[in-house]
Every structure is written in structure tokens, then in C-alpha cells.
């Protein structure tokens, strides 16, 4: 090998080393676009997996709490837990301790706070007080006021014995994240008659889980359903005679 040959050989080797040490611009762009395509494919799938995981946790929260209601009733001559206004500070409402949140503490296997928040619940009221009532949010879930039996002049259904159809009688709903119900622990479905979609939305987060909400019933089960399935007034209704297609809140007509 002449000196020139050696020089050429060394140059070729150096060139090869240089080639192997990095990528050309084209290779880099191809790699980046493949990664971008993979991310675009995987992200929605990951988001969906997270959403269905959170929905499962929410349903489980409602099932555990509503099963605790049944255990509570066994020890209280079939009576159901009450409702109250809740505060994370010192009790501010006269009937805070009457809330299901406190009544059921001893009937769940965990700290009741751990199952009182839906993982999709992003309400600002967990951190910031409602200026109107001074309360913060303590629970994501609301009991059904028809069952609390504390409204004067109102039919009292605060006993399992008074329920004709427990598997169709609602116990828990998902509280609206904003507005005056965001810091409550119960809903008033008896006030929905005049404009059900709007009235219900003021009290319940109707689209909490991919456009739908979760509800539990007094046989201990919980399930997703649109508003129409749990509360719907028939077209032939008159003011004095409501033709219910669905009303899972009022025990008298729950079906």
C-alpha cells in the first residue's frame, strides 16, 4: 500500500465513522414524524383508558356508599340517613351532622372521605368557599331529598319499608360542580317540574362522565344514565296529573 493508498483508506474509514455517528436530516425527520404519529394514535386511547378507569372508581364509590345505607338501615329499624348542609370547617349549618356523610362513617370499610369524591370532579369549591353560604365542597355525591323526610308538609319516605321499588329508587347523584348546589350534600328533584333539563343541571353534573352521569339505587347498585332515563315527564301530563315516563326520585312513582 502506497502512502496515497493509505491516505485514501484512512479517509474512507473516517467517513464511515462519521456516517455511523449520527443521522442525516431526512432520517431525523422520518423518526420524528413516526414518533408524532405514534403519539397521535396512543394519546386518545390512553385518555379513554383513564376516563373509563375514573368512571369505574366513581361507580364503585356510589356502590360502597349506598351499600352502607342498607347496613345503616338494618341497625336503625329501616330508617335512612338524613341530609344536611356540609362545611369543611366548623359546622356552619344547623343540621350538618345530620348528613349521610357523617351517618355512614361507621358503615364503610374505608375513610368515607376517600369514597366521597368522584375522580372526574374538578369543582373549584373544594378549594374556594362559596361566597353566598361560606361553605366549601366536601362531597361529589348527593342524596335524594325525597328520602330525608325533613321538609315540612312533605311526604316522608325516610324508611326502607316505605319504598315500593328500591332498585328503581335513587339514593345518590353527582352534585353540580358550580352554583349553589356545589356545596350541598343532597338534591331536590321535587323542584324539577317546571323545566327539568335546566333545573336538574343546576343540581346535578349531568355530563360528568363522557356526557352522562352516574346514579345509585337502594338495592345497592349504581349505573350511568342520561337524565331522560331517570326523570321524564310524559307529553299527556297536566298540572294536576303528571304522566311519568320516568321518575326515580319520588318513591311514590319510582319505576
Q: Which residues bind Zn ion (CB under 5 A)?
A: 58, 118, 174, 208
Q: Which three cell numbers stand for residue 106?
A: 361507621
Q: Taken in order 145, 54, 139, 158, is the CA torsion positive or negative?
A: positive
CB of 107 to Zn ion, least distance (A): 21
CB of 117 to Zn ion, least distance (A): 9
Nearest CB to Zn ion, comparing residues 42 and 56: 56
Nearest CB to Zn ion, comparing residues 58 and 160: 58
CB of 140 to Zn ion, least distance (A): 6
- Cβ–Cβ under 8 Å, residues 87 and 135: yes
Q: For residues 12 and 143, give the distance between their C-alpha atoms in angstroms, rounded to a whole number.
A: 80
- Cβ–Cβ under 8 Å, residues 137 and 87: no
CB of 192 to Zn ion, least distance (A): 20
Nearest CB to Zn ion, comparing residues 98 and 118: 118
Q: For residues 156 and 152, give the distance between their C-alpha atoms in angstroms, rounded to a whole number.
A: 9
Nearest CB to Zn ion, comparing residues 57 and 242: 57
Phi, then psi, of 103 in degrees rounded to 5: -60, -30
Give the number of other CB atoms < 10 A from CB of residue 104: 22
Q: For residues 232 and 246, give the distance between their C-alpha atoms in angstroms, rounded to a whole number.
A: 5
- Cβ–Cβ under 8 Å, residues 64 and 105: no
| C-alpha dihedral, 163 to 168 to 169 to 175, nearest 10° | 170
Nearest CB to Zn ion, comparing residues 54 and 190: 54
CB of 181 to Zn ion, least distance (A): 15
Nearest CB to Zn ion, comparing residues 58 and 98: 58
| C-alpha dihedral, 61 to 62 to 66 to 71, nearest 10° | -10
Nearest CB to Zn ion, comparing residues 59 and 148: 59
Q: For residues 212 and 80, give the distance between their C-alpha atoms in angstroms, rounded to a whole number.
A: 27
Amino acid at each position: 500500500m502506497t502512502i496515497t493508498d493509505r491516505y485514501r483508506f484512512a479517509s474512507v474509514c473516517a467517513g464511515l465513522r462519521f456516517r455511523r455517528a449520527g443521522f442525516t436530516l431526512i432520517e431525523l425527520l422520518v423518526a420524528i414524524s413516526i414518533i408524532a404519529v405514534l403519539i397521535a394514535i396512543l394519546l386518545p386511547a390512553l385518555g379513554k383508558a383513564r376516563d373509563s378507569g375514573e368512571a369505574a372508581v366513581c361507580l364503585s364509590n356510589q356502590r360502597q356508599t349506598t351499600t352502607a345505607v342498607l347496613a345503616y338501615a338494618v341497625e336503625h329499624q329501616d330508617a335512612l340517613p338524613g341530609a344536611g348542609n356540609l362545611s369543611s370547617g366548623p359546622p356552619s349549618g344547623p343540621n350538618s351532622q345530620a348528613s349521610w356523610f357523617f351517618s355512614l362513617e361507621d358503615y364503610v370499610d374505608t375513610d368515607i372521605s376517600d369514597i366521597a369524591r368522584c375522580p372526574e370532579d374538578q369543582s373549584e369549591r373544594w378549594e374556594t368557599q362559596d361566597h353566598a353560604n361560606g361553605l366549601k365542597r366536601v362531597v361529589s355525591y348527593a342524596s335524594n331529598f325525597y328520602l330525608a323526610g325533613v321538609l315540612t308538609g312533605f311526604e316522608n319516605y325516610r324508611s326502607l319499608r316505605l319504598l315500593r321499588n328500591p332498585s328503581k329508587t335513587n339514593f345518590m347523584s353527582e352534585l353540580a360542580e358550580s352554583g349553589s348546589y356545589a356545596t350541598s350534600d343532597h338534591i331536590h328533584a321535587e323542584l324539577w317540574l317546571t323545566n327539568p333539563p335546566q333545573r336538574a343541571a343546576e343540581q346535578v353534573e349531568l355530563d360528568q362522565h363522557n356526557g352522562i352521569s352516574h346514579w345509585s339505587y337502594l338495592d345497592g347498585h349504581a349505573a350511568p344514565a342520561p337524565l331522560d332515563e331517570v326523570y321524564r315527564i310524559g307529553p299527556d301530563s297536566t298540572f294536576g296529573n303528571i304522566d311519568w315516563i320516568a321518575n326515580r326520585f319520588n318513591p311514590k312513582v319510582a319505576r
